[in-house]
Amino acid sequence: MNQVYDVVIVGSGLSGLYCALNLDSNLNILIVSKGQLDENNTYLAQGGISTAKNDEDLDSYIQDTLNAGQHKNDISAVTTLAKESMENITLLEKLGVPFDRIDGNLSFTKEGAHSINRIVHVKDETGKYLWKTLIDCTKEKSNITIMDNTYLADIIYRDNTCYGGIIFNKGKQVNVYSKFIVLATGGIGGIFNDSTSQRILIGDAITLALKHNIKVKDLEYIQFHPTGLYDNDYYGRRFLISEAVRGEGGILLNEHGKRFVNELLPRDIVTNAIREEIRKSKVPYVFLDISFLPKYFILKRFPMIYEKCLQVGIDISKDPMLVIPSQHYHMGGVMVDLDSKSSMHRLYVIGEAACTGIHGKNRLASNSLLEGLVFSKRGADSINSSFQSITIKKVPAAQINQTPNELSKYNKQLLKKELQRRSSDLYDELFDNR
C-alpha cells in the first residue's frame, strides 16, 4: 500500500511535535510514533529547559555549555542555541506551557555546571506539561495526521536523496512518499541494561544512518546521569532524581556520611566520583540528602520525586535517597547542519537523534529540550522556505521481510557493536543483550 504526504515526521516527542507546529499550515503532515504517543523521553523530563536570561547572559551561558562539553562543542551551534533560546521559551508560553512564575516573573532554577539560575520549569514535571501542551496543539491542526504504534522500518531513497519512509502499521508494510522526512526518534537508552530512558528508544535514526551511509558524529559521547534512584527491585527504566535536587542544595554522601564531591560539577565528573565511591565501598549506591530543607519546600518543588521515593519506602523529607549512575543521554547522533539537514538530501534529523555539536563531550543540564526546540524550529523554517520547489517521486521501495521486533533486535546489536568499536569503555555487561 502507498500513501503520500508533504512531510513525514518520525517521533512524537517534543522535537517531532514542535517541528510539526512550526511547519507551514498548507503542508500535509504525518507524524508516526512507534509506541504509545506519550512513550517518549520528553514526557519524563523533570528539571527544565535552559535559556539565556537576557543578552548579558549570552556569553556566560555559552561558556558554561562549552566548559561542560570539554570544548569539543561546535561553537556556531552553541551560539545559535543561546541566541534563539528565549524566543522559543516565549513561543512555548504562548502555546500554553504553564512555566512556574514568582511575582509574575519566570522562576529560574539552577543545575550542575550552570554559573547562574537560568532554567525554566514546571514544578518537577516540566516534560509532562510541555508534551501535553504540544500534543493538544498538534491535535487541533487539521493538516496534521498522527499515528501511534506505527514503526518506521526504513527509508526510501535513491542517489543520496530521501523520497519517503517504509512504515509498519497494524503489522502491514506501508510505503509513504513525501517531500521531506524528519527523524525525531530520540536517544539510545533502550540498548543499555540500566538507563533512565524509555526502553523502546534504541537509536533508530542512527542505525538507519549506519546502514545507508548517512554521516554520524560523536557516537561515543554517551552521558551517564549521576543520580538514578537505586531500587532493589529494579527492572526496566531507572527513575531519575533530577539534577535540580542538587541545584536546590542536595548533597551527596558516602557510606560514612561524608561528602566526597562538589555536587554541582558537570555530570561526567560527579558520575565518576560516585563510581569511585561505589568501587571503594562495595555498597552499590551512595546517598543524596535534602532532608535538611523545609518539608513544605520539598513538597512544592519536588512533588513527583517525593511521591516516587515514598513508593520505595523513603521519605525524602526525613531520610536520604539511595542513588546510582545510569545511562541518560546521547550527545552523538546523525550529523546535521544548523538547519537540521543531514548529509542525505531531503532528510532532516532533530532532537536527541541528531548531533548538532551543541553538547561536545558532555551535555550541560537542561540543554537537551532547548536543543530540540531551537533546531526543530530551524528545520521547520528550512522546509517552509523550500517545499514549493520539491516534487514527490515514487521510487521503488524495498520489501521488508523481518517483523518490527526482529528488526529492532538486529538494530540494537548493530548499534552496540558500532559503539563498542568507537569506545573501549563500553563493556558487554552495560548493554541489554536480550
Residues noted as catalytic? 267
Q: Out of 7, 8, 12, 308, which residue is the one contacting ligand FAD (CB under 6 A)?
A: 12
Task: Pick the stretch among 39-47, 78-86, 88-96, 300-308 that binds ligand FAD (CB under 6 A).
Answer: 39-47
Under rule CB under 6 A, residue 155 binds ligand FAD: no
Find, among 212, 20, 216, the residue nearest to 135 by Cα.
20
Which lies closer to ligand FAD via its Cβ, residue 33 or residue 254? 33
For residue 19, the minimal CB distance to ligand FAD (Å) is 9
For residue 122, the minimal CB distance to ligand FAD (Å) is 10
Which lies closer to ligand FAD via its Cβ, residue 211 or residue 280? 211
Residue 35: how many other CB atoms lie within 10 Å = 16
Under rule CB under 6 A, residue 45 binds ligand FAD: yes
Which whole-number Å values give the CA distances from 189 to 57, 76, 146, in the listed order?
Answer: 33, 28, 24
Under rule CB under 6 A, residue 132 binds ligand FAD: no
Q: Interface residues for ligand FAD in 328-387 (CB under 6 A)? A: 329, 351-353, 366-369, 372
Asked if 30 contacts 19 with a C-beta cutoff of 8 angstroms, the reply is no
Q: Out of 35, 147, 248, 426, which residue is the one contacting ligand FAD (CB under 6 A)?
A: 35
- Contacts with ligand FAD by CB under 6 A: the residue count is 43
Find, among 155, 130, 142, the residue nearest to 8 by Cα.
155
- Output phi, psi for 52, to 5 deg: -70, 125
Which lies closer to ligand FAD via its Cβ, residue 139 or residue 259? 139
Under rule CB under 6 A, residue 13 binds ligand FAD: yes
Which lies closer to ligand FAD via its Cβ, residue 40 or residue 175? 40
Minimal CB distance residue for ligand FAD: 13
Q: Quote the distance between the C-alpha of residue 427 and its chain's center.
A: 23
Strand partners, 191: none
Q: Out of 8, 9, 15, 109, which residue is the one contacting ligand FAD (CB under 6 A)?
A: 15
Give dist(CA 302, CA 316) in Å, integer. 10
Q: For 233-349, where are the E strands, in sequence order?
A: 251-253, 286-289, 321-330, 333-335, 347-349
105-106 vs 101-102, strand pairing mode: antiparallel
Query: C-alpha angle 139/145/148, rounded to 5°?
Result: 90
All three cell numbers of 205, joined, read 535514526
Q: Out of 41, 51, 85, 271, which residue is the one contacting ligand FAD (CB under 6 A)?
A: 41
Residue 404: how many other CB atoms lie within 10 Å = 17
Query: C-alpha angle 158/382/220, rounded to 5°?
Result: 70
Task: Pick the stretch among 70-78, 180-188, 213-221, 377-385 that binds ligand FAD (CB under 6 A).
Answer: 180-188
Under rule CB under 6 A, residue 85 binds ligand FAD: no
Under rule CB under 6 A, residue 51 binds ligand FAD: no
Q: Quote the distance between the C-alpha of residue 285 and its chain's center.
A: 25
Q: Out of 21, 27, 33, 223, which residue is the one contacting ligand FAD (CB under 6 A)?
A: 33
Q: Interface residues for ligand FAD in 231-260 (CB under 6 A)? A: 240
Under rule CB under 6 A, residue 164 binds ligand FAD: no
All three cell numbers of 2, joined, read 502507498
Task: Say which amino acid occupies 138.
Answer: T
Binding site for ligand FAD (CB under 6 A): 10-16, 32-35, 39-42, 44-49, 126-127, 151-152, 184-187, 196-197, 201, 204, 240, 329, 351-353, 366-369, 372
